[in-house]
Structure 1
Amino acid sequence: MLPDFLKQRIRRYEQYKWQENRGVEEETLIRNLPKDLRRDIKRHLCLDLLKKVPMFESMDNQLLDALCDKLKPVLYTERSYIVREGDPVDEMLFIMRGKLATATTNGGRTGFFNSSELKAGDFCGEELLTWALDPNYSSNLPISTRTVETISEVEAFALMPEDLKSVASQFRRLINNKQLQHTFRQGFT
């Protein structure tokens, strides 16, 4: 039997999901549409979010369409942990609505604490990009250098590691492009 506080969190999530979707599973609805319409909808909802990532802003439309197609809508209730410092990063999140707090202790270094706020248009989980680009990648996901927790209810799109890796391998010629690698390194160093 689950403790009451977990039952309350589950109820709160289900209520939020119902409030946002009115019982309609958006992903199922979109998945059943013709491919071209599905692509246009995802592109309309996600393209601007993707282009905020320095690595993605100079990529061609074919790659951006493939990334848009892999994005999954997600909802988080207030005070939900997206990832904790030291845990594996299991999604890259593109925020549509809501606020998140991000904090790091730099691996628990004494006296070090840095925090910031993420909002609509921001993203987190970019550690997955270097992991996906590494041709000698390990199956081990990268470790988060920060804790990310929702401040409010959050609506976002998630890019899963296996989807990012799949798109990266399909478009290896673009990722091996020296200009793109330079852009990527400048954006995250």
Structure 2
Amino acid sequence: MDDQLLDALCDRLKPALYTEESYIVREGDPVDEMLFIMRGKLLTMTTNGGRTGFFNSEYLKAGDFCGEELLTWALDPHTSSNLPISTRTVRTITEVEAFALTAEDLKFVASQFRRLHSKQLRHTFRFYSQQWRTWAACFIQAAWRRYSKKKLEEDALAKAGGNSPSLGATIYASRFAANALRLLRRNSTRKARITERLPPMMLQKPAEPDFTADER
């Protein structure tokens, strides 16, 4: 950001102080401010809307921020007046000193400075956002599980097939492959129970503003 944009943002920042073990926002509540942490430590966590077996948490410190759902809302020129819903619960671990940017102030700055609407900002936002990093981790895990399952099934079929072209061998191989696949699925189910603490395969992709109208 250039000096003019930074000055406009700083003019609207408001100092905020939170006591130890206090909640800044809870999952499912409206987000009415974006918080930039200057001092202290916080815990941010999500259950993905209360999904059984899902829990993700991360610590925030000086230099981090929270309430990024509000940035997406403010940058979208077609957004409604309804505030976005928090996907995470944020709780202080120690006393926290921060600067807050309210929804209306962030909306005003975004409307005045159209150069905020850029691909560079979008990529930077994804890199630092807790929501995007959690979604990316779950997406990679789901892709790896699909790949591993496919490779196991292919290996089982290859071993069962052998090199014999006879009808008897083919029937035997088919039965062997069917039994092997049943065993693999049974083991996968057992493994899923053991590792149920891992994030589920499907996590809702975070929202982001549509800048296609500005890019044309």
Same fold (TM over 0.5): yes
Q: Which has the larger radius of gyration?
A: 2
* CA spacing shift, 1:180–1:111, aligned 2, 3 Å: closer
Q: Distance in 2 between matches of 1:129 and 1:104?
A: 19
Displacement of 1:90: 1.1
Q: Aligned residue pairs: how many? A: 130
**Which residue of the partner structure matches residue 36 of structure 1?**
none
The answer as to 2:22 corresponding to 1:67 is no
Displacement of 1:98: 0.7
For 1:155, which of 97, 101, 107 is the aligned residue? Answer: 97
- In the TM superposition, 1:103-118 aligns within 5 A as 103-118=45-60
The answer as to 2:106 corresponding to 1:169 is no
**Which residue of the partner structure matches residue 61 of structure 2?**
119
* CA spacing shift, 1:96–1:184, aligned 2, 3 Å: closer
Q: Distance in 2 between matches of 1:116 and 1:68?
A: 27
Q: Distance in 2 between matches of 1:162 and 1:82?
A: 18
* CA spacing shift, 1:166–1:107, aligned 2, 3 Å: same
**Which residue of the partner structure matches residue 20 of structure 2?**
78
5+ residue gaps in structure 1?
1-58
Higher helix fraction (1 or 2): 2
Question: What is the SS of the residue equivalent to 1:169?
Answer: helix
Q: Distance in 2 between matches of 1:118 and 1:186?
A: 15
Q: Could you tell me whether the CA contact under 8 Å between 1:175 and 1:181 is conserved in 2?
A: no
Q: Distance in 2 between matches of 1:95 and 1:186?
A: 18
The answer as to 2:74 corresponding to 1:132 is yes
Displacement of 1:65: 1.1
Q: Distance in 2 between matches of 1:143 and 1:165?
A: 16
For 2:42, which of 100, 104, 116 is the aligned residue? Answer: 100
Displacement of 1:175: 2.8
Percent of pairs with identical residues: 82
